Structure 1
Amino acid sequence: MIKWVVLLVCGWLLFKLVTNDSKKKTEKKQKDMEKKFATGDMVKDPVCGSFVSIDQDIRVRDGETIHRFCSYECRDKFIARLEESGRAIPKENKEEPID
């Protein structure tokens, strides 16, 4: 009987160690993302809201503003939304090559 109690306590302690470690990793990853966003290394995708690196390949220039996207699908949705509202982005500004 005591053997089972000790085994259960050890299992519970191991479980707590593993779950606590994963929580710390998740919190650290989120803090790193917030730090990158605050320093300007990352920007928010205007369509889906995910964070994208400023070095991201998928971008659209709208006048002086450069919009960065996480995927071509988000970029196409953004362009379609602009066209529905009556604005159009010139074809040469739809994709900007990386410097």
Structure 2
Amino acid sequence: MLIKFLIFAVAAFVVWKLFTGDRKQKQVRDKKQEENLAASGEMVKDPVCGTYVRKDGDIRVRQGEDVHVFCSYECRDKFIKSLEAGQEKAE
């Protein structure tokens, strides 16, 4: 009875390690892929939160010659508020 329990416990531990190890490898792989896409110019960094987003994303703001791309409307709104606050200080 004790041997069966020990075998079950060891098997459960091995399965758990396989799943957690695979998840960590996937995170590392995804981060590397983001870095490669950013280096190639396909992805850019959101100026508010730092998340990498596709360069041709839909949520964007033009500031003079620069076009800023955002991961969410929340980040875009924060960026616009900071621009407005900067203009108010300049006036």
Shorter-chain TM range is: 0.7 to 0.9
Inter-partner Cα distance in structure 1 for 2:15 and 2:27: 19
More relative contact order in 1 or in 2 (CA 8 Å, sep 6+)? Answer: 1
Q: CA deviation at 1:73?
A: 2.1
Q: So what's the TM-score if we normalise by structure 2?
A: 0.86
Inter-partner Cα distance in structure 1 for 2:13 and 2:72: 42
Inter-partner Cα distance in structure 2 for 1:52 and 1:27: 18
Q: CA deviation at 1:24?
A: 1.0
Q: CA deviation at 1:36?
A: 0.8
What residue in structure 2 maps to residue 4 of structure 1? 5
Higher share of residues assigned helix? 2
What residue in structure 2 maps to residue 20 of structure 1? 21
What residue in structure 1 maps to residue 78 of structure 2? 77
What residue in structure 1 maps to residue 61 of structure 2? 60
Q: CA deviation at 1:76?
A: 1.9
Whichever residue aligns with residue 61 of structure 2, its letter is V
Inter-partner Cα distance in structure 2 for 1:36 and 1:13: 35
Unmatched runs of 5 consecutive residues or more in structure 2: none
Whichever residue aligns with residue 8 of structure 1, its letter is A
Q: CA deviation at 1:68?
A: 0.7
What residue in structure 2 maps to residue 34 of structure 1? 35
**Deviation by residue 1:6-36 (Cα, 9 ceiling, x = unmatched):** 1111111111111111111111111111111
Percent identity over paired residues: 51
What residue in structure 1 maps to residue 49 of structure 2? 48
* Equivalent residues, number: 87
Stretches (4+) displaced over 2 A: none
Whichever residue aligns with residue 45 of structure 1, its letter is D
Q: So what's the TM-score if we normalise by structure 1?
A: 0.79
What residue in structure 2 maps to residue 96 of structure 1? none
